């Protein structure tokens, strides 16, 4: 029986002897990609967390002895820091949780650069987080004492609307 092998559009006859051919596959490092970051509004009186994602197809390489990809997230300011990172199972994504302390810069409109790079520094991506920081001052009593009268034994109720006795400089609901 005549054995034939088809390679690159041509047929070759082969004998009964065989040769082992080793084929090595070298990983081509894929680029990291930071997903879009939504703008947020926060108050100076609270700390906030925000989850962001980045992807890199090299995360999907199953044999970590061959290539063990991870991503590093960072910001260009100390009041927005990376609190934790984790892989999103079954995907090429990694999630980072940002901790935001808006009391440090104070109120106003701020732009924070967020970047991500892969473990060997091959690729890098960045995005801008826009943060509108608002002040939320507590309401203030307009006077220190008020007197309300209710007759004892009366089977009546007396609704008291205290919003008239306080004010909020932030025009928030009281």
Domains along the chain?
33-134 (2.60.40.10)
Q: How far is CA 50 from CA 8, 66, 97, 101, in A?
A: 53, 33, 6, 11
pLDDT over 90 for what percent of the chain? 49
Residue 103 to residue 134: CA distance in whole angstroms:
10
Q: Which residue has the tokens 């307009």?
A: 142
Q: Which residues are bridge partners to 111 per DSSP? A: 130
Convert the pLDDT of each residue in 115-162 to its tens digit.
999 988 899 999 999 999 998 877 888 776 777 777 777 677 777 777
| Listed range (18-22, 34-38, 67-71, 99-103) with the worst mean pLDDT | 18-22
pLDDT band of 2, cuts 50, 70, 90: low
Q: What is the DSSP string of 72-124?
A: EEEESSTTEEEEEEEE-TTSSEEEEEEEE-TTTT-SEEEEEEEEEEETTSS-E
pLDDT at 113: 98
- Please determine, for residue 26, whether its predicted confidence score (pLDDT) is greater than 90: no
**pLDDT one-digit tens code per residue, 35-49:** 999 999 999 989 999
């Amino acid at each position: 029986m005549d054995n034939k092998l088809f390679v690159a559009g041509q047929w070759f006859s082969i004998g009964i002897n065989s040769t082992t051919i080793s084929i090595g596959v070298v990983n081509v490092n894929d680029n990291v990609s930071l997903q879009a970051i939504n703008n947020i509004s926060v108050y100076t009186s609270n700390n906030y967390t925000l989850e962001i994602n980045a992807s890199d197809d090299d995360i999907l390489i199953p044999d970590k002895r061959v290539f063990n990809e991870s991503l590093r997230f960072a910001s260009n300011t100390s009041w927005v820091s990376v609190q934790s990172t984790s892989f999103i199972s079954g995907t090429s994504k990694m999630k980072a949780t940002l901790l935001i302390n808006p009391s440090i810069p104070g109120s106003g409109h701020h732009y924070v650069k967020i970047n991500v790079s892969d473990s060997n520094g091959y690729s890098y991506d960045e995005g801008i987080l826009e943060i509108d920081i608002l002040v939320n001052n507590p309401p203030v009593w307009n006077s220190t004492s008020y007197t309300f009268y209710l007759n004892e034994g009366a089977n009546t109720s007396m609704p008291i609307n205290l919003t008239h006795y306080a004010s909020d400089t932030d025009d928030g609901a009281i």
